[in-house]
A and B are shown apart, each in its own frame.
Chain A
Amino acid sequence: MTHDVIRHLLDDYVTGDLPEDARAPVADHVATCAACSAEVDSLRRILARASELPAAIEPPAEAWSNIREAILRDEKAVATPIDRVAMFRRRPMVMGAAAAILVAVLSSTVTAIYLNSRQPSGVTTVRVADATPATLAAFTIEENNYLRTAAALQDVLDQQESVLAPETVAQLKASLRTIDEAILEARNALARDPSNKLLVEMLSANYKQKVDLLRRSTEMTRGT
């Protein structure tokens, strides 16, 4: 089996889902391939971290008042979203570490979103990152999350870009530009009209589109 084939089997190899007769060739390859070995290590770390996560977290009683205070503090010190992105870009080490953690967290978050989206109608579930914030202050926090998530996913996609056909990369970049333009337009409108909840919802929807497209693209380029 070649590297590209084995690459697609690493998930099963790490989780133990690969049958015994397929494990040996994969193990032999991993022992000699630095990239696959690193991928296996990374997958094992993610699994280890995921296993440490609690099944549910009950927020403490004072959570909402603390969040409110944080929002008010954040509003006073808030930089523009573009400034915050620039700040991250100026600190590649921080960005790299954040990306690694985010990718680990995202894998479970995205899975939760995915599983949530596949619930049939009428089934009530906890919605993950799907509710539109009711206020601009709440949205500012969510916007930070979108920006960080999108930046982390974009980094992953940039690393995997070579596996896509050039014309697909061009189309993908054009689609991301289209979303960015819509975000900018809605953001400017919101700056002029900060009490407009509809604009908050529209902006939020645009961010969701961007994160979803980046997520799908990274998953498709990654293989199975």
Chain B
Amino acid sequence: MAAMLAFPLASPLAAQKKIERRMPLGMEGAFRVMNMVGSVVVHGWAKDTVLIRGTIGPGDQFYAGGGYTGAKMFIESADQRDPKPANLEIWVPSRARVWVKTATANIDVDGVEGGLDLYVVSGTVDVTGSPRELNAEAIDGDIHVTGSPAWLRAKSASGSITLRGGSSDAGISTVSGAVKVDGGSFERTKIETVTGNVSFAGQVDRSGTFDFDTHSGAIDIAIPDKTNASFSVVTIAGSIANNINRARPTAGRFGRGSELTTDAGDGGAKVSVRTFKGSVTLRRTVVKP
């Protein structure tokens, strides 16, 4: 932590529109970025160097500093009440751990294989690639991931979350934002919303655990033909449509709602679906080769 925050404030580049800075950073070093408004684009590359290019508002100041194991940069706005957009493009060592925080700036990351911690208030987060760890949080911004992070945590309130890929350990949460997961292979997965709809289409590992929870959001789960999984679906006031086999929902064990317990294939993966009043659909899908 101390090394990462080692922070010799480098000379500010006052009143310049364009910025460019190179700094040495180890291939697995840590890099922190803070830019409140505008955009941050991060690329992973195979060099032990950070390169920052971009434009900042007149009078704004760009600070960067640090050492080989950790470095940090941020933009200081001349007018804090009306900050001007700063648009940054940053190249980092591909295995670096990268931390980015913005308010309304969008974050785009590609090619980073290390760790990503990305925070926006109302901007969007777009990640392409398969970082070892990805933690993305937004308040009302959308989060899009294309790739297969081994460890994924994505949270938004009203923003939507889309994952095109898989993960061995995924946790996704929204309040009203929709969640769409499509295409990859999954082991441990937890998806929860309050009113947001959930759409999951992917391969479930037979030793995996899968939890889907909503209050009123609809849950649509599509699994490939040869899936081995045990489903436990419970609703208080929602409907259950089972299109994976002939099992039909029964009255709930607490005297209300409905339940469905059924196996696909030989059973295996434990799939738990719980919703207060959302509709649940289980169906088959075909995985494209």
Q: Interface on A for B, CB 8 Å cutoff?
A: 1-2, 4-5, 8-9, 12, 17-19, 21-22, 117-118, 120-121, 164-165, 167-168, 171-172, 174-175, 178-179, 182, 185-186, 189, 193, 195-199, 201-202, 205-206, 209, 212-213, 216-217, 220-221, 224
Is B187's beta carbon under 8 Å from chain A?
yes
CB atoms of A198 and B194 under 8 A apart: no
Query: Interface residues of B: mostly helix, strand, loop or mixed?
Result: loop
Choice from A5, A167, A178, A195 contacting B74 with Cβ under 8 Å: A5
CB atoms of A164 and B121 under 8 A apart: yes
Query: Interface residues of A: mostly helix, strand, loop or mixed?
Result: helix
A121 in contact with B215 given A175-B157, A195-B254 (CB within 8 Å): no
CB atoms of A182 and B195 under 8 A apart: yes
Q: Which residue of A lies closest to B9 (CB)?
A: A22
CB atoms of B216 and A21 under 8 A apart: no
A-B contact pairs, 28 of them (CB 8 A): A5-B74, A17-B2, A19-B7, A22-B8, A120-B169, A121-B187, A121-B188, A171-B122, A171-B157, A172-B157, A178-B195, A179-B175, A179-B194, A182-B194, A189-B276, A193-B255, A193-B256, A198-B236, A198-B252, A198-B257, A202-B236, A205-B213, A209-B175, A209-B192, A212-B173, A220-B101, A220-B103, A221-B121
CB atoms of A224 and B101 under 8 A apart: yes
CB atoms of B34 and A19 under 8 A apart: no
A175 in contact with B256 given A18-B7, A165-B122, A202-B215 (CB within 8 Å): no
Is B119's beta carbon under 8 Å from chain A?
yes
Cα of A34 to Cα of B215 in the assembled complex, Å:
45
Choice from B157, B171, B215, B254 contacting A196 with Cβ under 8 Å: B254
Is B158's beta carbon under 8 Å from chain A?
yes
CB atoms of A198 and B155 under 8 A apart: no
Choice from B122, B168, B195, B236 contacting A121 with Cβ under 8 Å: B168
Other A-B contacts than A9-B7, A216-B139, A224-B101, 7 sampled, CB-CB below 8 A, are A1-B76, A4-B80, A22-B7, A118-B133, A165-B103, A171-B140, A196-B254
Choice from A4, A8, A9, A220 contacting B139 with Cβ under 8 Å: A220
Cα of A19 to Cα of B195 in the assembled complex, Å:
47
Is B95's beta carbon under 8 Å from chain A?
no
Chain B residues 72-126 with CB under 8 Å of chain A are 74, 76-77, 80, 101, 103-104, 119, 121-122
